[in-house]
């Protein structure tokens, strides 16, 4: 049973872990090299000092890890260690420089985060329902692993075991590649006349949303996973070269766009598991308080479950277009009901 | 005053124009080379035949335009013509092959669309509150331009005048480049193990959302605007080459990611005009009918205007995280109110 945890690093992830554990009645000590961050994290979590923690969590940049491991081994010679960095092979290499450490050091990666960093953005529920990847080495001690599994389930996350190498290849593809692509596409916008930018639609907004990310965090991640990322960027570059060569050949352009659609179909639905097909129900509403509430009350009355919602405001107009994502059955039911009571519903005809 | 319009092309855009004009009491004839599409569009719009239309709208692929202009000039020698294609310089070239036509042919581009094509997806309100670009030539007749402006305002859209060349450069940047990037990033996902794809988060989903687009439409658009696009793709490729070279140099990686963030800041807010900063209010709710309705009722009671909403379901859990986008003032007001009546609100600490 997990009772005492020391968390080294009081940023978003470390402090969120602290908050979540404290809620479960676990004693948590927050530490940071930045005294301001440590003070804030202590305020938020209760600020106790724990002796002989069972588990020490490293929630800090991988580049700072080696130094911190050294000092923590000295003061906590019996503790289990874990880190929460976004890249794992490099952590494994660092662990291997400390003889015997791999039996009690678990590299992990919680698949959660926010666009805003720092202890001030921390949330006890940050990991609720998220995946938390472990990449233990073969000689990892079972009792160490159980402590880490205990922490993960205390925070409401689901543990998934992968090899460090598979983890790094997976996140390179599903996280690091999209980040770099979004940043480089957004970079092309620099210097564009404002009146052109006014024409931007949802496509550009979605494609570049994560380009707003913090470069201090991302330089670490990308650098640490450079060998996996390099392969992917070269493959992207080859496809880009093909597209440039294909610009005079509509059939070849179509082939590349179609290949993209096939790749996109690999992404599962929001609930995890198999990709789910939603039906979309567009409704034009007056852009005033009360309209959304009224619609959701009708959803509740009809026992319809809204999977997602998009709101599109028409600039300079008093109307908004909301689009509900529903199961096909719910969409049909709700569409008929809302139409019958006078809502401006625009079901997509089959 | 616009009274009689002939629409050649009964796809999404043509039929949506037809539906919108019919709602305004304007007589609309729908035409298509595909008799099934034409029949559907006629059913939807009322299906009349108009003699001597003031305005003929070409809502068909630019590659088919030249042929159709020829036959339409023959049967409607007095009419004003307009097209609605996504690329304009090529249309101008085609117009110039018909002597005198540029005085009464207006190249236009409505900034509206849907991910689903065809007459069946058409909506009378597709253009409400959208921008509609005109790229008239210098010798365009004022009466012709007024007919087109009449159509645009009848459909609730806002006309914007640009040169054909500026238009094409603008859409290459804000629409065609993101489409190609999204498709090529999505293409890299092909063959990824399903258990890796399970780890995909919102970043990958957003970055590749438009990769689901139709390749038949996009091969036309990309091919027609290839000279503008080519320049942008080469610039993107240069930056990609720089990023690959920078993988061993964290400072250089940070520079590229920061440049992306600066580019992204060029994108104005949803309402048009200057970019707006929203405050985000995360609320954890039970994932059951009635919860969203109850929250929106509170928003209405507090006279709080919800700008956007994101719903995140926790896989395998009975809770969902909803994040409301609000003005800073509304966020503060609503957060205090919801907390006071027992909602599980997680305001972002400043």
Side-by-side strand order, sheet with B344-345: B308-313, B319-326, B279-286, B344-345
Chain B residue with the nearest C-alpha to that of A296: B293
CB pairs under 8 A between A and B: 440
Residues B156, B17 within the same domain: yes
Q: Which residues of B fall within a CB distance of 8 Å from A233?
A: 240, 243-244, 247
Using CA coordinates, name the residue in chain B closest to A228: B247
User: Nearest chain B Cα to A190, which residue?
Assistant: B263
Cβ pair A293:B289 closer than 8 A: no
| Beta bridge partner(s), residue A263 | none
Q: What are phi and psi of A184, to 5 degrees?
A: -70, -35
Residue B350 lies in a domain: no
Which residue, of B105, B127, B161, is where some domain finishes?
A: B161
Residues in chain B with pLDDT < 50?
271-275, 314-317, 349-350
Task: Residue A166: list chain B partners with CB under 8 A.
Answer: 196
Give the position of tokens 């409505």.
B110
Give the list of residues 6+ apart from residue A67 with CB closer than 8 angstroms, or none: none
The Cα–Cα gap between A154 and A131 comes to: 13
B129 and B37 within one domain: yes
A9: left (phi over 0), alpha (psi -120 to 50) or beta: left
Beta partners for B28?
Answer: B5
Query: Which chain A residue shows the shortest CA-CA distance from B215?
Result: A254
- A156/A295 same-domain check: no
How far apart, in whole angstroms, are the C-alpha atoms of residue A293 and residue B204?
31
Q: Residue A121: count other Cβ atoms within 10 Å of its Cβ.
A: 19
Asked if B209 lies within 8 A of A218 by C-beta distance, the reply is: no
Q: Cβ–Cβ of B208/A178 closer than 8 Å?
A: yes
Cβ of B273: how many Cβ atoms within 10 Å?
Answer: 12
User: For all residues of chain A together, what is the average pLDDT?
Assistant: 89
Q: Are residues A145 and A176 in the same domain?
A: no
pLDDT score for B348: 59
Q: Are B17 and B157 in a shared domain? A: yes
Instruction: Give how far A51 is from chain B: nearest CA, Å.
Output: 30
| A157: CATH | 3.40.50.720
Chain A contacts of B187, Cβ < 8 Å? 239, 256, 259-260, 262-263
Give chain A's radius of gyration (CA, Å).
24
pLDDT of B313 reads 57
Contact across the interface for B199 and A174, Cβ inside 8 Å: yes
Select the more confidently predicted residue: A57 or A314. Answer: A57
CB contact under 8 A, A129 and B303: no
Backbone angles phi, psi at B97, to 5 degrees: -80, -10
Which chain B positions have a beta carbon within 8 Å of A184's beta carbon? 181, 236, 239-240, 243, 256, 260
Q: How far apart are CA B277 and CA B267, in angstroms?
A: 12
Rounded to the nearest 10 degrees, the angle between the axes of helix B89-96 and helix B65-75 is 50
Nearest beta carbon to residue B222 from set A190, A247, A321? A247
Higher pLDDT residue, B306 or A222?
A222
> Hey, are the CB atoms on B174 and A196 less than 8 Å from each other?
yes
Banded model confidence at residue A314, pLDDT cuts 50, 70, 90: very low
pLDDT value of residue B306: 82
Rounded distance, CA A197 to CA A167, Å?
A: 38
CA distance B308 to A149: 36
Q: Are residues A300 and A179 in the same domain?
A: no
Which residues in chain B touch residue A229, judged by CB atoms under 8 angstroms apart? 247
Chain A residue with Cα closest to B182 = A207
Dist CA B252 CA B245 (whole Å): 9
Backbone angles phi, psi at A337, to 5 degrees: -65, -50
Q: How far is B281 from chain A (nearest CA, A)?
A: 12
Could you tell me if A55 and A5 are in contact, meaning their C-beta atoms sit under 8 angstroms apart?
yes
- For residue B296 the two structure tokens come to 């929106």
A287 φψ region: left (φ > 0), alpha (ψ -120 to 50), beta (else): beta
Residues B213 and B258 in one domain: yes
Asked whether residue A319 is assigned to any structural domain, the reply reads: yes
Cβ neighbours of A316 in B, within 8 Å: 129, 158, 272
Last residue of a domain, one of A161, A193, A208: A161
Q: Where are the alpha helices (DSSP H) in A88-131?
A: 89-96
How far is Cα A107 from Cα B298, in angstroms, rounded to an integer? 44
CB-CB under 8 Å, B129 with A317: yes
| Closest C-alpha to A105, from A32, A157, A56, A162 | A56
> What residue numbers bound the domain in which B235 lies?
167-264
Q: Say if residue A271's pLDDT is above 60.
A: no
Residue A291, domain member (yes or no): yes
Residue B222's CATH number: 1.10.3660.10
Q: Are residues B124 and B30 in the same domain?
A: yes
pLDDT at B317: 44
Q: CA A186 to CA A207: how far, in whole Å?
A: 9
Model ipTM? Answer: 0.76
Nearest to A267 among B205, B307, B308 (CB): B205
Residue B82 shares a structural domain with residue B99: yes
Q: Which residue has the tokens 């007095």?
A: B78
- Which of helix, strand or coil describes residue A141? coil
Residues from chain B that touch A199, judged by Cβ atoms under 8 A, are 111, 131, 133, 160, 170-171, 174
Place of tokens 């096939």: A262
Same structural domain, B115 and B255: no
> Within this chain, do residues A178 and A215 fall inside the same structural domain, yes or no?
yes
Q: Is there a contact between B300 and A293 if contact means CB atoms under 8 Å apart? A: yes
CATH number at residue A289: 3.30.70.260
More confident residue, A62 or B240: B240
Pair (B43, B146) in one structural domain: yes
Query: What domain count does chain B have?
Result: 3
Could you tell me which residues come within 8 angstroms of residue A41 by beta carbon, excluding any fewer than 6 positions away? A7, A10, A14, A15, A18, A30, A32, A119, A122
Answer whether B199 sits within 8 Å of A261, measured CB to CB: no
**Which chain A residue is nearest to residue B253, measuring alpha carbons?**
A219
Residues 6+ apart with CB under 8 A from B67: none
Look at residues A264, A295, A315 and tell me which one is the last residue of a structural domain.
A264
Rounded to an integer, what distance in angstroms lies between the CA atom of residue B99 and that of residue B58? 19
How do A279-286 and A319-326 pair as beta strands?
A: antiparallel
The C-alpha of A107 sits at a distance from chain B's nearest C-alpha, in angstroms, of: 17
Q: How many alpha carbons lie under 13 Å from residue A221 in its C-beta half-sphere?
A: 20
Helix (H) and strand (E) counts in chain A = 14, 11
**Over 70: is that where the pLDDT of A16 sits?**
yes
- Phi-psi domain of B156 (left: phi exceeds 0; alpha: psi -120 through 50; beta: other): left
Which residues in A lie closer than 8 A to residue B249 (C-beta atoms)?
A: 223
pLDDT at position A97? 95
Task: Give B211→chain A minimum CA distance, Å.
Answer: 5
pLDDT at position A197: 92
Q: Give the CA angle between residues B245, B249, B251 to the nearest 5°.
A: 120
Kind of pairing between the strands at A158-161 and A131-134 = parallel
Looking at the complex, report in whole angstroms how far the Cα of residue A271 sits from the nearest Cα belonging to chain B.
5
Q: Please name the member of B189, B290, B309 whose beta carbon is closest to the beta carbon of A263.
A: B189
pLDDT digits (tens, 9 = 90+) for A66-122: 999 999 999 999 999 999 999 999 999 999 999 999 999 999 999 987 666 788 778
Best mutation target among A109, A175, A188 (most B Cβ atoms within 10 Å) is A188
Closest residue of A to B131, CA-based? A199
Q: Cα(B60)–Cα(B9) distance, rounded to whole angstroms?
A: 5
Residue B317 maps to a domain: yes
The DSSP letter of residue A28 is: E
Say whether B166 and A196 touch across the interface (CB within 8 A): yes
Structure tokens at B276: 């707006």
Cβ contact B271–A129 (<8 Å) = no
Report whether pLDDT(A315) > 50.
Answer: no
Question: What are the distances in angstroms from CA B157 to CA A320, B113, B126?
Answer: 14, 13, 9
């Amino acid at each position: 049973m997990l009772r005492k945890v020391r968390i080294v690093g009081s940023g978003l992830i470390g402090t969120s872990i602290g908050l979540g554990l404290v809620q479960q009645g676990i004693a948590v000590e927050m530490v940071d090299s930045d005294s301001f961050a440590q003070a804030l994290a202590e305020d938020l979590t209760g600020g106790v000092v724990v002796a002989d923690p069972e588990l020490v969590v490293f929630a800090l940049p991988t580049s700072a890890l080696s130094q911190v491991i050294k000092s923590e081994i000295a003061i906590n010679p019996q503790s289990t260690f874990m880190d929460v960095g976004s890249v794992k092979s490099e952590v494994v290499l660092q662990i291997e420089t400390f003889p015997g450490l791999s039996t009690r050091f678990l590299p992990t990666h919680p698949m959660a985060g926010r666009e805003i960093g720092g202890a001030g953005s921390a949330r006890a529920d940050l990991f609720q329902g998220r995946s938390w990847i472990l990449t233990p080495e073969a000689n990892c001690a079972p009792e160490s692993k159980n402590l880490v599994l205990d922490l993960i389930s205390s925070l409401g996350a689901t543990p998934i075991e992968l090899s460090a190498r598979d983890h790094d290849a997976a996140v390179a593809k599903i996280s690091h590649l999209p980040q770099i692509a979004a940043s480089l596409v957004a970079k092309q916008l620099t210097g564009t006349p404002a009146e052109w930018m006014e024409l931007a639609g949802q496509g550009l907004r979605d494609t570049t949303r994560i380009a707003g990310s913090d470069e201090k965090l991302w330089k670490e991640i990308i650098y640490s996973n450079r060998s996996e990322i390099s392969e992917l960027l070269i493959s992207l570059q080859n496809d880009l070269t093909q597209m440039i060569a294909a610009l005079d050949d509509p059939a070849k352009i179509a082939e590349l766009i179609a290949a993209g659609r096939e790749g996109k179909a690999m992404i599962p639905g929001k609930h995890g598991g198999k990709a789910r097909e939603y039906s979309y129900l567009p409704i034009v509403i007056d852009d005033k308080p009360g309209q959304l509430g009224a619609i959701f009350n009708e959803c509740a009355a009809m026992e319809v479950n809204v999977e997602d919602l998009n709101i599109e405001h028409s600039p300079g107009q008093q109307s908004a277009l909301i689009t509900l994502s529903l199961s096909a059955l719910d969409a049909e039911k709700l569409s008929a009901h809302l139409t019958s009571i006078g809502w401006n519903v625009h079901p997509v005809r089959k």
